[in-house]
């Protein structure tokens, strides 16, 4: 059984999804995951689309930056600034 999707948003030819993870589809453990759901050549979502726990999302971003692999365009950089500003004001 796959992820139980709560939110979805189109992203290029794929979707971004947030939901109860495939390892906890009932949500009984209270952990959510995020997924990049890309399409196969027949248009269906690939079962191998990557899914990761939400709790490590920021750690993945920081790790990519630490390894010199994070490249942000101006739009992404502005989105990140806005996100951080919203969280600083909380």
- In this structure, what DSSP letter does residue 29 have? T
Supply the pTM of this predicted model.
Answer: 0.81
- With b for 16 or more beta-carbon neighbours within 10 A and e for fewer, the 58-70 pattern comes to eeeeeeeeeeeee
Chain mean position to CA 85: 20
Residue-by-residue pLDDT tens, the chain, 90 positions: 688 899 999 999 999 999 999 888 677 888 999 999 999 999 888 888 889 999 999 999 999 999 999 999 999 999 999 999 999 987
**Gap between the Cα atoms of 46 and 40, Å rounded:** 5
Distance CA 28, CA 72 (A): 36
What's the number of domains the chain is made of?
A: 1
Question: Domain range for residue 71?
Answer: 4-88
């Amino acid at each position: 059984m796959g992820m139980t999707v709560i939110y979805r948003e189109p992203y290029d030819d794929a979707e971004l999804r947030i939901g109860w993870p495939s390892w906890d589809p009932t949500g009984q453990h209270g952990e959510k995951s995020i997924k990049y759901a890309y399409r196969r050549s027949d248009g269906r979502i690939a079962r191998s689309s990557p899914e990761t726990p939400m709790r490590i999302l920021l750690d993945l971003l920081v790790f990519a930056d630490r390894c010199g692999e994070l490249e942000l365009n101006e739009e992404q950089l502005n989105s990140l600034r806005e996100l951080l500003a919203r969280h600083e004001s909380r």
